[in-house]
Amino acid sequence: MASPLYRQPTRSEIIELAMQENHDADIPTNAGSICPKTSPDPFPSPEKGHNLSTAVLEKDVEKGSPLESLSSDDEEGTGAGEVENPNIVFWDGPDDPQNPLNWPFTKKWGTVLIVSAITFLTPLASSMFAPGVPQVMKTFGSKDDMLEGFMVSIYVLGFACGPMIIAPLSEMYGRLPLYHSCNMFFIIFTIAAAVATNMGMFITFRFFMGCFGGAPLVLGGGTIADLISREQRGTAMVVWMMGPTLGPCVGPIIGGFLTEAKGWRWNFWFVTIVAGAFAIISILLMSETSAPVILERKARRLRESTGNDKFRSKLDTGLCASDLFRFSIVRPIKMLTRSAICAAMSVYVAITYAYLYVLFTTFTAVFSNQYHWRGGVLGLSFLGLGVGSLVGQFVFTRYGNKIANKHITRGDFEPEHRLYIMAGGGFFLPIGLFWYGWSVQAQLHWMVPIVGTGVIGFGLLMTFMPANTYLVDVFTVHAASAMAANTVLRSLAAAFIPLSSQKMYQKLGYGWGNSLLGFVSLLLVPIPFLFIKYGKGLRARSTVKL
- Give, for 512, the enclosing helix (H) or strand (E): helix 501-524
Residue 17 belongs to some domain of the structure:
no
Q: Is the pLDDT of residue 68 over 60?
A: no
Quote the pLDDT of residue 441: 94
3 state SS of 71: coil
Quote the pLDDT of residue 78: 47
Cα–Cα distance list, 391 to 237, 387, 455, 487 (Å): 17, 6, 10, 22
Pairing of strands 88-89, 312-313: parallel
Most trustworthy range by pLDDT among 228-237, 331-340, 464-473, 527-536: 527-536
The H-assigned helical ranges of 339-396 are: 340-370, 383-395
- Residue 453 in contact with residue 388, Cβ under 8 Å? yes
Quote the pLDDT of residue 39: 36
Phi, psi of 157, rounded to the nearest 5 degrees: -65, -35
Strands, E, within 52-128: which ranges? 78-79, 88-89
Residue 183 belongs to some domain of the structure:
yes
Quote the pLDDT of residue 270: 95
Residue span of the structural domain in which 154 resides: 101-311
Residue 414 belongs to some domain of the structure:
no
User: Which one has a higher pLDDT value, 328 or 525?
Assistant: 525
Residue 525 belongs to some domain of the structure:
no
326-379 residue pLDDT tens: 777 888 888 888 888 889 999 999 999 999 989 988 998 899 989 998 877 888
395-414 residue pLDDT tens: 888 888 788 888 888 888 88
394 Cβ contact list (under 8 Å, min separation 6) = none
Residue 275 belongs to some domain of the structure:
yes
Q: Is the pLDDT of residue 520 over 70?
A: yes
In this prediction, residues 248-276 reach a mean pLDDT of: 91
The H-assigned helical ranges of 48-87 are: 53-57
Q: Is the pLDDT of residue 31 over 70?
A: no
Residue 471 belongs to some domain of the structure:
no
Q: What is the DSSP string of 382-405?
A: GHHHHHHHHHHHHHIIIIIHHHHH
Mean pLDDT of the chain: 82
CATH code of 184's domain:
1.20.1250.20
Of 423, 438, 461, 424, nearest to 517 by C-alpha is 438
Longest dimension (CA), the chain: 79
What span, in angstroms and rounded, lies between the C-alpha atoms of 350 and 69?
35
Q: How many domains does the chain have?
A: 1
End-to-end CA distance of the chain: 36
What span, in angstroms and rounded, lies between the C-alpha atoms of 324 and 104?
32
119-150 residue pLDDT tens: 999 889 988 988 888 899 999 998 888 888 88
189-200 residue pLDDT tens: 999 999 999 999
For residues 165, 171, 177 and 180, what is the CA-based torsion angle, rounded to 10 degrees?
A: 50
**Other CB atoms within 10 A of residue 284 CB:** 8
Residue 257 belongs to some domain of the structure:
yes
Residue 110 belongs to some domain of the structure:
yes
